[in-house]
Structure 1
Amino acid sequence: MNENGTDAVSAPLRAGFIGGGFMAAVHGRAVRTAGVIPAGVASSTLESAGRAAARLGLGHAYSSVEQLLDDDSIDVVHICTPNVTHAEFAAAALQAGKHVVCEKPLATSVEDAAAVTALARTLGRTAAVPFVYRFHPMVREARARVRHGQVGRVLTIQGSFLQDWLLSSEDDDWRVDESLGGPSRAFADIGSHLCDVIEFILNDRISRLAALTRTAFSQRGGRDVRTEDIVSVVFETRGGAVGTLLISQVAPGRKNRLALEISGTTETLTFDQEQPETLWVGRRSGSQLLVRDPAVLDPSAARYCSLPAGHPQGYQDAFNSFISDVYLAVRSGTAPDGLPLFEDGLRASRLTSAVQRSAREGGWQDVPPNYPEPTGHKTPLLTLKERQ
């Protein structure tokens, strides 16, 4: 029982949001589905917070991030702001005693990602990053087939994540601006999702890689562009598999196509996020197309079937499942299997850093594990007041 005599386990949790754009809308819908109260939002100004609160149904409009974090009734803070602010806001929320859901990238440098990850670990808070493609049931089915040995020894991986929303030189967004989006765009934004899904399914890590990057247009919106539109990667895993990745935000006709093919000595598995209800299982003879059906899937996949077979599930359903598991972890103190935490956000930062090093210096680059943390100088995370 809490100080008000309410059962703290069954009492509805309350979520606060920093940022009021597209991702805040996605988070807000997922929070409501999980039975959590969207209690308030802070944005760049009180006026913009008020508009977001009204438009997205996020409750109270706070005059500042500090005011939101000072509200003891807020249990979990969702950070949906430009990339360069993520680590700063996440650290402030953790220090205010909140659990945190922080949009990726967790940080725009490995040093900041490591610092905020260590802070979450020290404070014992649930701190999650929305690598939500893990929550498609057919991704879980692929993972189960690898785990149970049905694929055999994994030999090769082909992956791509293709979009066309920046196809024209006239297309622009804050993510293109390095001062807001950080030094990597295409890889940090969508390539990180692709790598996370691959490593999640394989229960293996990319150990080294070689990368090329390209910027399709030197200017957008009247300013120079220094972040990449296209990334090509060759990689090797610790387990000895080899693979290739192609990431592009300038691929005509592709809206949000995360696709991967994993080939082992027995089976090939193919998943396409734009067709998330199916998983192709290739064999030397007797290939088949598995359709999402909780009656026949592995229990770890059937758990994420929120609708009966034949009723399509998509991206928002995957996001809803992620948020449901976040709040289960908050309530129970134990993270469900496969919940992506800040450690996974740090992992993505290390991969992004290796891609940038390879593109800049050439050749193969090792991708170090998260722990032990690298020794030497670390850039400290500045507090909100220090950054003002």
Structure 2
Amino acid sequence: MNALRVAIIGTGMIAEVHARAVRMVGGRLTGVLGSRPERGAQAAQRWGGRGYLDLEELLADVPDVVHVCTPNATHAPYVRALLAAGVAVVCEKPLGLDGAEAHELADLARRAGVVATVPFVYRYHPLVREIRSRVARGGLGRVLLMHGTYLQDWMLDAHTANWRVDPALGGGSRAFADIGSHWCDLVEFVSGERFEAASAQFSLAHPERPIGSDHAFGGGVATAERPIAPVETEDAAIVALRTRSGVPASVVVSQVSAGRKNRLWFEIDGTSASAVFDQEAPETVWFGTTNGASVLRRAEAEPSPEQARLNAFPAGHAQGWGDAFAAFVADTYAAVRGEAPDGLPTFDDGARAADIVDAVRASALSASWEAVAAS
């Protein structure tokens, strides 16, 4: 099978993750477009292909798929141009700066008839699929409650600067849009429930930060020359949610929780059993009943077909986030070739996430429950 020809727009941390996944699944990286030609050329030296001068040169190279891994405010312009050219797109989330923009892009992708996906890659941990399968089969009974956290600490230092802090570049929500959207997508995906309303409270750790952008997740260094600006986007959020069937849910989201690097954790409690998944320990899942609890390890016992499809290694040989990312890219490329992989997150899912973010931000501003747009 001929390798798909792939281009990447962006040169930062997440673009490098995409480039690694492209190589892992056998894609052929044709080149990289950076914010400046020299940045694209430098990234291409590390990852392969060549540095493009501009989007026109990238499109002239006729890639099969383009990965958009740039600051949030640039997603829509790039995606519009790529869809107009009939190219399959992988776009980092958020798909748009708000629900209206995200739905516009989802509609454009539908009309263009091309594969268009968003990297909600936590869906691709094998044990996430195991829980999903058991919920669908009724193994947890009727869902009563869903709760969890998504905690990081990379913005804890007051001197850390990042483009995401600026609403003009990152959008009106930061912590929740960046990581809370992952939690909501994952819990909806696993449970089959759909959130219909949100009540949120946002908080700031630091009212001011330096202008600019440090290496993501790297921490900043203060200098006297660095200008300071007020912070307008949240460092943390506490959100109560209600599903269409009346199931209550809650999530705590933070980018300022010391020692927490990437702790996406959720629990689904049902009338028969409960299930817990922790992204920082993805090789096991906890199941509880009134008679006790058990820990299931990946690839042991009798994995569900959903889990088995994603088990790349035998039990005891750890799979992690990088493997989940590669599995997402592999499914995207399979869809480009005409297959229909189960659970592939598309632009419709990206638009859904944007609707939830809009409702959460509106609630934080209004101090009242806000409806999530029906989708």
Q: TM-score range by the shorter chain?
A: over 0.9
1:360 equivalent in structure 2:
365
3-state secondary structure, aligned to 1:245: strand
How far apart, CA to CA, are the structure 2 residues paired with 1:270 and 1:193?
16
Please provide the CA RMSD for this pair.
Answer: 1.0
1:220 equivalent among 209, 213, 235: 209
Question: Is 1:67 matched with 2:57?
Answer: yes
Structure 1 residue runs of 4 or more that deviate by more than 4 Å after TM superposition: none
1:291 equivalent among 297, 318, 337: 297
CA contact (8 A) 1:294 1:302 kept: no
1:151 equivalent in structure 2:
140
1:11 equivalent in structure 2:
2
Question: Is 1:207 matched with 2:212?
Answer: no
2:353 equivalent in structure 1:
348
1:251 equivalent in structure 2:
257
1:233 equivalent in structure 2:
239
Question: Is 1:138 matched with 2:143?
Answer: no
CA contact (8 A) 1:294 1:305 kept: no
3-state secondary structure, aligned to 1:293: coil
2:281 equivalent in structure 1:
275
How far apart, CA to CA, are the structure 2 residues paired with 1:64 and 1:164?
35
TM-score, normalised via structure 2 length:
0.94
1:38 equivalent in structure 2:
29
2:224 equivalent in structure 1:
none
Count of matched residue pairs: 358
- TM-superposed deviation, 1:361: 1.0
How far apart, CA to CA, are the structure 1 residues paired with 2:301 and 2:30?
37
- TM-superposed deviation, 1:176: 1.4
2:20 equivalent among 29, 33, 40: 29
1:183 equivalent in structure 2:
172
CA contact (8 A) 1:70 1:96 kept: no
- Structure 2: which 5+ runs fail to align? 211-227
2:116 equivalent in structure 1:
127
3-state secondary structure, aligned to 1:169: coil
3-state secondary structure, aligned to 1:115: helix
3-state secondary structure, aligned to 2:292: coil
2:213 equivalent in structure 1:
none
- TM-superposed deviation, 1:294: 5.6
- TM-superposed deviation, 1:363: 1.0
3-state secondary structure, aligned to 1:352: helix
Question: How big is each residue's C-alpha offset from its partner over 1:357-385, in whole Å with a ceiling of 9 and x where there is no partner?
Answer: 10111211111222xxxxxxxxxxxxxxx
How far apart, CA to CA, are the structure 1 residues paired with 2:58 and 2:157?
39
- TM-superposed deviation, 1:171: 1.3
- TM-superposed deviation, 1:286: 3.4
1:306-321 mapped onto 2 (5 Å cutoff): 306-321=312-327
Equivalent position amino acid for 1:45 in 2: R
How far apart, CA to CA, are the structure 1 residues paired with 2:169 and 2:68?
15
Equivalent position amino acid for 2:5 in 1: R
How far apart, CA to CA, are the structure 1 residues paired with 2:58 and 2:168?
25
2:151 equivalent among 138, 157, 162: 162
Question: How big is each residue's C-alpha offset from its partner over 1:276-326, in whole Å with a ceiling of 9 and x where there is no partner?
Answer: 001100000131000001652101111101111100000000000000000
- TM-superposed deviation, 1:173: 1.2
3-state secondary structure, aligned to 1:303: helix
How far apart, CA to CA, are the structure 2 residues paired with 1:211 and 1:91?
32
- TM-superposed deviation, 1:109: 1.5
Structure 1 range deviating more: 227-236 or 290-299:
290-299
How far apart, CA to CA, are the structure 2 residues paired with 1:208 and 1:166?
28
Structure 1 range deviating more: 290-299 or 213-222:
290-299
How far apart, CA to CA, are the structure 2 residues paired with 1:264 and 1:239?
14
1:93 equivalent among 66, 82, 85: 82
3-state secondary structure, aligned to 1:251: coil
How far apart, CA to CA, are the structure 2 residues paired with 1:368 and 1:224?
31
CA contact (8 A) 1:43 1:65 kept: no
Equivalent position amino acid for 1:348 in 2: A
How far apart, CA to CA, are the structure 1 residues paired with 2:100 and 2:198?
20
1:335 equivalent in structure 2:
340
CA contact (8 A) 1:132 1:322 kept: yes
How far apart, CA to CA, are the structure 1 residues paired with 2:203 and 2:96?
22
How far apart, CA to CA, are the structure 2 residues paired with 1:92 and 1:292?
41
How far apart, CA to CA, are the structure 1 residues paired with 2:353 and 2:180?
9
How far apart, CA to CA, are the structure 2 residues paired with 1:297 and 1:238?
30
Question: How big is each residue's C-alpha offset from its partner over 1:332-375, in whole Å with a ceiling of 9 and x where there is no partner?
Answer: 1x4311000000000010000001110111211111222xxxxx
1:73-84 mapped onto 2 (5 Å cutoff): 74-84=63-73
1:52 equivalent in structure 2:
43
